[in-house]
Amino acid sequence: MPETPPCRVLYMEDDAAQARLVQKCLEREGYSVDVALDGLAGLGCYGEKPYQVVVVDQTMPLLSGLEVIRGMLARGPLPPTIMVTGTGSEQMAVEAMKLGVSDYLVKDLQGGFIRLLPLTIGRALAQQRLLEEKQQAEKDRKRMEQELFQAQKLESIGQLAAGIAHEINTPIQYIGDNHHFLQDAFADLAALMSLGDRLLEAAKQSKIAEDLVRQLESKRNAIELDYLTQEIPKAIRQSLEGVERVASIVGAMKEFSHPGCQEKQAVDLNHAIQSTLTISRNEWKYVADVNTDLDPLLPTVHCLPTEINQVVLNVVVNAAHAVADALKARQQTRGTISVRTRRDGSWAEIRVEDTGTGIPEAVQSRIFDPFFTTKEVGQGSGQGLAIARSIIVDRHGGTIRFETAAGEGTTFIIRLPIEGRPSPEASTPAASVAASS
């Protein structure tokens, strides 16, 4: 295996003798050391080579240590940087720390700081590695969250596909039936019109035959012209309504499945909710009536639309399942799901209320835990509410909580900052539970 190159250190010190001592000390510890005897030269070296560690003396000609550090910052983030000074000024130490130095050493007459310097450099490098590992872990966490969100989104689309196909098939069927009716009606009308043309031609020649009149009258009665006059407009209207219904479903599905952008944008929450209710209709229409009370004055909300759609879908589908379970227990035929929006100061609030079974007290504290589910094996992944919480709280700075009553139902309350960030005066907890008996 190739050897790892030594860690490169830049040491800025105007005392040449002390600089040589530090250089030899660090080289014995395995570091590669470059020396600059003034601040300007040091800043020049810093721009020419990559250094893993920089040690800066505060008192130097041309540029002070603090001025050098500011010059380094102008070029990008600081590597592990250590300030050394012969004057132990607390104010200077604070200023250096504010600029982002890793550590601060005071020179002593016995040269003790030289013995401390390798340890200080080692500590700074260890801190840097920990910081990089933390940053990488955060990147990995965000990537995994995004992958999990996409997987859940695809899972939702897959689960909804059969229902959406059914929702589209119903209007397509009556559009087809109406078109067959219109096709037959047109054939009958065409035959009637042909007889009418013959009668018109005969009238022009003053040779109207009684047989032709009888044929026209007989055809008119046979095709039930009065019935066609009433039913053809109905068939056309129903077909247009069916086309609009299909277009609405396809449009809602397109909005839901569209790849999400990574930048927040102004979103009409009411429209997003309506679209989500449209594509999830087959999940709730057999068990519940959905009532909406959407505030027409609600302003647009800066958010990630596809992610908010996913949250609303998860909560509505959960509500439908809870209602279905309650109907079995109560021997009832239908329940209710109510969806409301309103503005509360700098927040937009979405409430999804169901007449389901409620959430048992024993599991309320785990509702937002990843992979926790109360559904039977194969019916739930336990990711829906965990992802909803991550989207609302972590990615939007909002809140999600619920109010529940055993045997009566549950209301999920989702709050989003309208401007895309929590207002300073807001003190709503990130995620909470409110249970009532």
Sorted by where each begins, the domain ranges of the chain are: 8-107, 176-246, 259-436
Domain at 8-107: CATH architecture:
3-Layer(aba) Sandwich (3.40)
* Beta strands 335-344; 265-267: pairing state: unpaired
Share of the chain above pLDDT 70, in %: 84
> Is the pLDDT assigned to residue 43 strictly greater than 80?
yes
**Topology of the domain comprising 259-436:** Heat Shock Protein 90 (3.30.565)
Percent helix, percent strand, percent coil in the chain, to nearest 5: 55, 20, 25
The residue among 353, 364, 350, 356 whose CA lies nearest residue 321 is 356
**Is the pLDDT confidence value at 184 over 60?**
yes
Of the given ranges (84-98, 155-169, 219-233, 406-420), which has the lowest mean pLDDT? 155-169
pLDDT > 90: percent of the chain: 17
The pLDDT of residue 340? 96
Identify the CA nearest to 352 among candidates 314, 395, 300: 314
**Which pLDDT belongs to residue 375?**
61
- pLDDT attached to residue 190: 83
What is the mean pLDDT of the segment spanning 182-203? 80
Query: What is the pLDDT, as a whole number, of residue 158?
Result: 65
Question: Across the chain, how many H-helices and E-strands are there?
Answer: 11, 13
Segment 358-369 shows an average pLDDT of 85
371: pLDDT strictly greater than 70: no
Exposure on the CB side of residue 424, measured as CA atoms within 13 A: 0
The sign one gets for the Cα dihedral 354, 357, 359, 361 is positive
- Whole-model pTM: value is 0.55
329, pLDDT greater than 90: no
Q: What are 411-423's pLDDT values in tens digits?
A: 999 999 998 776 4
- The answer on pLDDT for 4 being more than 70 is no
Whether 340 and 294 have beta carbons less than 8 Å apart is answered as: yes
DSSP assignment of 394-420:
IITS-EEEEEEETTTEEEEEEEEETTS
Is the pLDDT at 46 greater than 70, yes or no? yes
pLDDT at residue 127 greater than cutoff 70: yes
* pLDDT-derived band at 259, boundaries 50, 70, 90: low
Vertex 247 angle, CA 246 and 250, to 5° = 85
Higher pLDDT among residues 55 and 205, named by residue: 55
Please report the pLDDT score of residue 274 as a whole number: 92
Per-residue burial over 353-366, b if 16 or more Cβ lie within 10 Å, else e, is: bbbbbbbeeeebee
